[in-house]
Amino acid sequence: MTYSKNQRAILTRRSFVRLAGLTTGGIAVVGGYHALFGQSGERAKESGLALREPELLRVRRPEPGVVEAEIVASHTSVTLAGITVQALSYNDTVPGPTLRLREGDRVRLCLINHLEVPTNLHTHGLHISPEVDNPFVHVMPGESRLHEFTVPKGAAGTRWYHPHPHGMVATQQFAGLTGAIVIESSLDEIPELQAAEEHLLVLKDFTILRGEVAASHSFFDWLGKYGNLCLVNGAYRPKLVPQKSLLRLRLVNTSNARPFRLKFQEHPMHLIVTDDGFIEKPVTVEELFLSPGERAEVLIQLKRAGTFNLLHLPYDDGNFVVGSEPAKEEALLTVVVPATPKRLPLPTRLASVDALSPEQAVTTRTVQFGGAIPFNYTVNGKQFDPERVDFRGRLNTLEIWEIENHNGLIHPFHLHTYPFQVLARQDAKSSTWRPEPFPAWRDNINLSGHSKVRIAVPLRDFIGKTVFHCHISEHEDRGMMGVLEVEA
Ligand code: C2O
Ligand code: CU
Ligand code: CU
């Protein structure tokens, strides 16, 4: 659905008045967010520089298959879009350094907290024990915590890491605490993938104000904070001159709230990896939607010399203050193909993905996202309570979860520890379920306003307490999170 600017203004105002009536007793404000708060932020000082990837995290390999490294969270000055700013960083870079691992690696990763506030480290999308990847622990200023785990088989793909202390995620993440995790496996040796030119694109929006990444949240930011600068690996519209005609892009949306609706000019994209692994064969898509927290890998066959942009297309996420973002299509990355390239083929087969069969499920649960936005956000009518167990599951069983969005904002659902498969989706105002076209492992799935999603969740390998939540960090911080405890 596309709206003209005028229609959008009217829509925005109407939904605002509706919401204001609901939550604040009807204060009337006209005009966009930026007009209201003057928080438009600085413009980029540099653009079009050669694409750079985040540094690799420096690791020690004391013996084969063992990886040791430290990640230090601190308040430092970094360069974003050519501007020197104060930010929160991992190992002094934003985005943080990329942790590159292989399936089967034994990892000892130490988080050191040099911030003035508590934090912790979440390895988003990794199927490891919730005792290790534990959002309930807080690492106090000056303290550290060791995460020891084995990278599971079948984990090839792109993950990421970020803080998870309840109530503080949004401000820490917005200020820069994000980094990618890349997991290699024998699937990367598929000849067509070997022939491709690989690039990691960590996407995130920022607002830079008075020399700082503006991490404090004003009232309306609790709808989901947007930044005015959409950066790729911390750079504004970097430029890539590829050497090969087949690109493999690893995409991570590390924004607090901004979904990226992506399109590559004049070329389709071929999806090969979703959040948690390879799919069976490439699936051709014209657009790719990445909600906050979501990852995907795509192949692009460059077909001729020319300049092509990776575009971020307008999308109305129901956030009545921000409206549709971006207002018009925006280039994130410019790819300059110098000469008509020799065509490289796509792989025909990737991995085998066992489709979960819902008949084997032992329970069906309902997860309702709601609340009195933007004051509080709820799951099944309740705000998060770390002491309460919302769902109790049994190890080695399959469950069906039906997730329902009860308002007009988007809510990307995310479950820790246990990757799932989407079975079907239902749009707003429709009562028919659309079955998912192919099986894929995910840990994030977007719910547009008033939509529903049905997923199959295998509770495999680990027991313990873990969480599920909306991955708009503001919604999560204000309560849209629940606890799942899996018992033997
Ligand atoms: Cu990426 Cu619980 O989060
Ligand atoms: Cu996570
Ligand atoms: Cu949400």
Contact of 192 with 246, CB cutoff 8 Å: yes
Nearest to 207 by CA among 233, 226, 183, 179: 226
Binned at pLDDT 50, 70 and 90, residue 320 comes out as: confident
State what percent of residues in the chain have pLDDT above 70: 92
Smallest CA separation from ligand 1 atom 1, residue: 124
Average pLDDT over residues 19-48: 56
Average pLDDT over residues 412-434: 96
User: Which tens digit of pLDDT belongs to each residue from 197-214?
Assistant: 999 999 999 999 999 998
Which ligand 1 atom is at minimum distance from the Cα of 469?
2
pLDDT at 4: 37
160 Cα to the center of ligand 2, angstroms: 9
Burial group, residue 62, by CB count within 10 angstroms (0-12, 13-18, 19+)? exposed
Rounded distance, CA 116 to CA 118, Å?
7
Angle, CA of 358, 364 and 367, to the nearest 5°: 120
Average pLDDT over residues 356-383: 96
122 Cα to the center of ligand 1, angstroms: 7
In a domain, 346, yes or no: no
Average pLDDT over residues 313-331: 90
In a domain, 208, yes or no: no
Among positive and negative, which fits the CA dihedral 448, 449, 454, 457?
Answer: positive
Q: Which of the residue ranges 35-44, 114-123, 284-293 would you say has the lowest mean pLDDT?
A: 35-44
In a domain, 119, yes or no: yes
Protein residues within 5 Å, CB atom, of ion ligand 2? 124, 416
Which secondary structure element, helix H or strand E, spans residue 19, and what is its range?
A: helix 5-23
My answer on whether 306 and 398 are in the same domain is: no
**Residue 88 backbone phi and psi in degrees, to 5:** -100, 135
Instruction: List the beta bridge partners of residue 370.
Output: 378
Tally of domains in the chain: 3
How does the average pLDDT of the chain come out, rounded?
A: 92
Place of tokens 């997923």: 455
123 Cα to the center of ligand 3, angstroms: 20
Average pLDDT over residues 129-158: 97
User: Which tens digit of pLDDT belongs to each residue from 263-297?
Assistant: 999 999 999 999 999 999 999 999 999 999 999 99
In terms of pLDDT, which residue wins out, 36 or 184? Answer: 184
My answer on whether 380 and 266 are in the same domain is: no
Instruction: List the beta bridge partners of residue 146.
Output: 110
Q: Pairing between strand 246-253 and 197-206?
A: parallel
With a Cβ cut-off of 6 Å, ligand 1 is lined by 122, 124, 162, 164, 293, 414, 416, 467, 469, 471
407 Cα to the center of ligand 3, angstroms: 9
In a domain, 131, yes or no: yes
Ligand nearest to the CA of 257: 3
Average pLDDT over residues 359-364: 98
484 pLDDT higher than 90:
yes
**Enclosing domain of residue 367:** 358-487
Q: How many CB atoms lie within 10 A of CB 397?
A: 15
User: For the whole model, what pTM was predicted?
Assistant: 0.93
Which ligand 1 atom is at minimum distance from the Cα of 124?
1
Instruction: List the beta bridge partners of residue 486.
Output: 393, 464
In a domain, 213, yes or no: no
pLDDT at 39: 55
Query: What size, in residues, is the chain?
Result: 488
Select from 337, 371, 394 the last residue of a domain. 337
- Which CATH number is 415's domain given? 2.60.40.420
